[in-house]
C-alpha cells in the first residue's frame, strides 16, 4: 500500500500542489482573474480541465 499525502501551498505570487512524486505549480501570470458582474455571462469556465 502506498501512502499519499498531498499538500497545497498558496503564495502571494503563485501556488503549488505537491503529491508523493509530482509537483504542479501555477505562476501568477497564468492565474485567471475573474471579474464578477451579474449583468453579463461569465466568460471563464472554472470547471474546464
Q: What are phi and psi of 42, to 5 degrees?
A: -75, 120
Q: Which residues pair with 22 in a beta bridge?
A: none
Give me the pLDDT at residue 1, please. 46
Q: Cβ atoms within 10 A of the Cβ of 16, count? A: 14
Whether the CB-CB separation of 29 and 39 falls below 8 Å is answered with no
Phi, psi (rounded to 5 degrees) for 11: -110, 180
Q: Retrieve residue 24's grid coordinates.
A: 504542479
Mind listing the pLDDT tens digit for each residue in 3-49? 556 677 777 777 777 777 777 777 777 777 767 788 888 777 878 86
Domain positions in the chain are 1-31
Amino acid at each position: 500500500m502506498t501512502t499519499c499525502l498531498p499538500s497545497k501551498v498558496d503564495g502571494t505570487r503563485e501556488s503549488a500542489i505537491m503529491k508523493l512524486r509530482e509537483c504542479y505549480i501555477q505562476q501568477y501570470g497564468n492565474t485567471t482573474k475573474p471579474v464578477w458582474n451579474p449583468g453579463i455571462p461569465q466568460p471563464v469556465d472554472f470547471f474546464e480541465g
